[in-house]
Amino acid sequence: MPNTTEISGVILAAGRGMRAYPKTKYIPKALLEVDGKPLIERNIEIMRDQLGVKKIIVVVGHYGNQIPEYLNQKNMGVDFSFVVQKQQKGIGHALLMVEEHIKENRFVVMLADEFYLDSNHRDILGIVDQGTEADAVLLFKQVTNPSLISKNFTGNIQQGRVRSLIEKPENPTTDLLGVGTYFLNQKVFQYIKQTPPSELRQEVEITDVLSNMARQEVVMACMLEGKYLNVNNTDDLNQANYLIREKMFSRYKVSVVIPAYNEEKTIEGVVQDFKSHGVVNEVVVVDNNSMDRTSEIAEKAGARVVLEMEQGYGCALRRGLDEATGDIIILTEADGTFRSKDVPKFMEYLKDCDMVIGTRTTRQMIEQGTNMKGLVRWVNVIFGKIIELLWWNQEPRFTDVGCTYRAIWKSSYQRIRPLLSARGPEFAPEMMIAVLICKQRIIEIPVSYLQRLGGESKHSGQFSALARTAYKMMKVILKYRFFAGIVSEIQARFHTGRFVGK
């Protein structure tokens, strides 16, 4: 006898996510993250917090073992059980598979690959409790773009009651987009069994099932508030990240990391420049065995000084990234070549990606007298194009692999951290490659580049130094693409799925 008071939950997470490739190369789409949290986890929180669901059945399929592994190690206050859909036969088939597992008369179904922000799912309970005797409640979102409806479904709604559903209408006559949340009762299983497969896909379409149900039962409509996205591809995922980061951006803490070796002549001005910027919360100077007063001057200027005894530019940057407490970490140089005026650009583009890197290739933004010309410039451009070619499926666009003025989310850095081992200037391209391996997004933006104060660059000031740096960079690129590619891809699988380094 079904329980008539409690509400159980069903999450449908068996899809392959082919349109989201390559992000779904090693993980199911349900585990793709928005601002560091998987889509499926966000929807489970909606069920738990807004609808009071305590038991959830998850239908898994493609890479399905990863979903139970992830959810079972989370303490979410929900009891999970899992059903495997071995053959991809659509939502209707997936839903029918849970019939024998649902003990409650009422249950809510959500698609795992949809994103909601500031939603009003709790209003479903208000509709049910109004004495409507609803057998189902479907959510609809008012939209201004009719093409969204043409890709999904809409409904014929009269006085709050759904009379029928229209799947992918060519010319929508309404502005209501149907979304993937369905509040149902046990009657739906009979309608699934009675609904024939569609001619196009030979699958029992959930819209056909619910449309048939609406003609004979009481099916009510609930208007969805807040932001909503059906995450089909990487563009949708990027948009979801942008929406939540834009909302939360003022709450994020920003750290600036400055590696330094014998920079007593310039460190004070650089620290003061970045520390005085309104969005910066802390400046971390990593002293890499300086033999002058770098640490003393940096500390007096207001920086938090960290000592890194292992010599090397990459060692200092890693230490600074590890030590930084901000949600966002900005890397810059101690020699005065970069200015804080570019920080707002980094911040704005970070809403839309995992790492932003600067490029010193815009001629109008390069001060006369810098070393960013001739051979130095072309070496950076060529290496950028090599990385583009070798990781072409990620669609990167690079023109300056050596620019260390960049910004990254702390959570993104933690994911790539185990892949980072470079000790010298080759750390810059290694960091970029690690982000690509972990299927994260990089955007390159033009930055101002000023003449270096305090002598020549240690890495590119002379031809011999430039040659050594170029050799190290090429070695790192080849290592990750050819010699350690398999290991790196395996590591990326786990990091993108959040099973390591959480």
Q: Do 303 and 201 fall within a single domain? A: no
236 found inside a domain = yes
Burial 59-92 (b: 16+ CB within 10 A, else e): bbbbbbebbeebbeeeeeebebebbebeeebbbb
Supply the CATH number for residue 45's domain: 3.90.550.10
Q: Are 339 and 424 in contact (CB under 8 A)?
A: no
35 found inside a domain = yes
Residue in 232, 238, 274, 230 with CA at minimum distance from that of residue 443: 238
133 three-class SS: coil
At 218, the amino acid letter reads: V
Identify the pLDDT of residue 463.
Answer: 60
Q: Do 46 and 151 fall within a single domain? A: yes
502 found inside a domain = no
Q: Do 282 and 394 fall within a single domain? A: yes
Residue where a domain terminates, one of 229, 245, 261: 245
The distance from CA 76 to its chain's CA centroid, rounded to whole angstroms, is: 21
Residue where a domain terminates, one of 197, 230, 245: 245
User: Tell me, what DSSP letter sits at residue 303?
Assistant: P
- Domain of 79 in residue numbering reads as 3-245
Q: Do 419 and 488 fall within a single domain? A: yes
DSSP readout, 382-442? HHHHHHHHHTGGG----S-TT---EEEEHHHHHHHGGG----STTHHHHHHHHHHHTT--E
238 found inside a domain = yes
**Beta strands across the sheet bearing 104-111:** 79-84, 55-60, 3-13, 104-111, 176-185, 136-142, 219-223, 161-167, 153-158
Q: Do 271 and 210 fall within a single domain? A: no
Q: Are 6 and 50 in contact (CB under 8 A)?
A: no
193 three-class SS: helix
Q: Do 224 and 354 fall within a single domain? A: no
What is the rounded distance in angstroms from the CA atom of residue 25 to the CA atom of residue 18? 9
Q: Are 466 and 459 in contact (CB under 8 A)?
A: yes
Residue where a domain terminates, one of 245, 261, 286: 245
Identify the pLDDT of residue 455.
Answer: 53
Q: Are 356 and 443 in contact (CB under 8 A)?
A: yes
46 found inside a domain = yes
What is the rounded distance in angstroms from the CA atom of residue 221 to the CA atom of residue 1? 28
- Here the tokens at position 492 are 């990326």
Identify the pLDDT of residue 205.
Answer: 87
Q: Do 213 and 267 fall within a single domain? A: no
501 found inside a domain = no
What is the rounded distance in angstroms from the CA atom of residue 369 to the CA atom of residue 377? 13
- Which pLDDT tens digit goes with each residue over 391-448? 887 788 999 998 999 999 999 999 999 999 999 999 999 999 999 988 889 999 999 9
- Here the tokens at position 256 are 């600036």
User: Tell me, what DSSP letter sits at residue 98?
Assistant: T
Cβ atoms within 10 Å of 385's Cβ, excluding its own: 14
Identify the pLDDT of residue 236.
Answer: 92
Q: Are 428 and 459 in contact (CB under 8 A)?
A: no
426 found inside a domain = yes
Identify the pLDDT of residue 214.
Answer: 95
Identify the pLDDT of residue 458.
Answer: 53
Q: Do 79 and 198 fall within a single domain? A: yes
Q: Do 81 and 161 fall within a single domain? A: yes
- Which pLDDT tens digit goes with each residue over 300-340? 999 999 999 999 999 999 999 999 999 999 999 999 999 99
- Which pLDDT tens digit goes with each residue over 434-483? 999 888 899 999 999 988 675 555 544 456 777 888 888 888 888 887 76
Count of domains forming the chain:
2
Identify the pLDDT of residue 374.
Answer: 65
- Which ranges in 52-164 belong to alpha helices (H)? 66-72, 90-96, 123-129, 146-150
Q: Are 192 and 92 in contact (CB under 8 A)?
A: yes
Bridge partners for 58 per DSSP = 11, 82
Q: Do 257 and 399 fall within a single domain? A: yes
Q: Do 10 and 101 fall within a single domain? A: yes
Q: Are 280 and 342 in contact (CB under 8 A)?
A: no
289 found inside a domain = yes
Q: Are 3 and 103 in contact (CB under 8 A)?
A: yes
Residue 485 host element (H or E): helix 485-496
Q: Do 415 and 372 fall within a single domain? A: yes
Residues of the chain with pLDDT under 70: 1-5, 131-132, 365, 367-374, 452, 454-463, 483-502
10 Å CB burial of residue 252 (0-12, 13-18, 19+) is middle
Identify the pLDDT of residue 269.
Answer: 96
